Amino acid sequence: MTKLLASVRNREEAEIVFQNGADIIDMKDPDNGALGAVDLSKILEVKGFIAGRRPISAACGDLPMHPESIRRRVEEFASAGLDYIKIGLFPSEQLDVCIEALRPLASHNKLIAVIFADNWKSYSETLFERLSVCGFFGLMIDTADKSKGRLLNHMSPDQIGKFIGSGQSHGLMVGVAGSLEAPDVSRLLTYDPDFMGFRGALCVDLNRRSSIDAQATAKIRGLIPEVLEEGGPASVDYKLLAARGYFPEPEEAGLGTDKIFVRDFVLPVYIGAYSFEHGKTQKVRFDVVAEVLRVTRNPEDMRHVVSYDLIMDGIRAIVAEGHVELAETLAEQVAAFVLKNPRVVRVFVRAEKLEIGPGGVGVEIERTREVKNSAKLRFTQVHGGRQSS
């Protein structure tokens, strides 16, 4: 399950995010840059307040890619006994040397490499492997220039998903950040990052240089399901999810469903079973309707809705995977993706090839999820009127 990392610059802000359920308290000063460092005295003050109740991380600052400078700063922060230490790694000829210089410290500290989406294409394809070999505990994707938009302005959701999956496949804890806003949460939760980092979305007027706001923090907390770890493996607190708008409360039961839809969504797709269809794209039109559980009579924020962005993100991600032979396969993959959202109870998918025959040809399917209660969801498929679990 995904954890909420909240970036704060002093004890007062740490108290607010702690009281509003942040899983990781992160120390960072936005006035000092994207990864602006906070004085060690303030870090120790926050550490004293938290007293081991939550993990604490801190950013080392926007440092030049000089191996000795970075090593000394990380040693300084390691002396504070932090749970995680975040180090910004910018594209540079010295990048590999800097990573290697931190290998001794990585053996007894949880180092988190911060990679910047602004320069994503400038990093080596072997970066994840290099970080893993040198003992880094994790990595996160962020943005360096906050004036040029949020993370999703630089990388598409499926690219972010591949970043997360690749990092996790190398044994790294992977996080996402970068001026994320409330509507981004559900889109990125689909890819199961280990944590999501926020600053601006938690602040007054969504200004990262303003002070942390309790109401804004509670809003973001309400969008990320919490993890229970007491007495066994991590599990989802479904009662808490219901309280936060993921499922109906008893007094709101029986509200039924709403429908969200995407119509006439046309993409070039590598599709077809014939040899002449390989190696080139064909236009495919998608029409998707998802029935979602209503959780309140008066929807007010992102907790209460399922965004149609999820449908389009899913289709784009599936298409980006490469050639698929059958429209039926494509439709099944889209339906399965949409049904990953626990609020979706039924989905209708039409995938229509537009370049064969006098008109469109394709397939339309319906798949359902039977909801027993808020704590147990059973997936069923409809095949010619029969259901199979």
| Residue 35: partners with Cβ closer than 8 Å, 6 or more residues away | 28, 59, 60, 61, 62, 86, 88, 114, 142
Q: What is the largest CA-CA distance in the chain?
A: 73
d(CA 143, CA 153): 10
Question: Which residue(s) pair with 332 in the sheet?
Answer: none
Token pair 């032979």 in the structure block, residue: 325
256 sits in the region (left: phi over 0; alpha: psi -120 to 50; else beta) called left
Q: What own/partner pairs with CB < 8 Å and gap ≥ 24 does 372-378 have?
A: 374/238, 374/239, 374/241, 374/242, 374/246, 374/247, 374/248, 375/238, 375/239, 377/342
d(CA 15, CA 8): 9
Find out whether 128 and 118 touch, Cβ atoms under 8 Å. Answer: no
d(CA 47, CA 53): 10
- As annotated, the active-site residues are 28, 86
- Angle, alpha carbons 294-296-302 (nearest 5°): 80
The DSSP letter of residue 170 is T
Length of the chain in terms of residues written: 389
| Residue 24: partners with Cβ closer than 8 Å, 6 or more residues away | 3, 4, 5, 6, 54, 55, 56, 57, 83, 84, 195
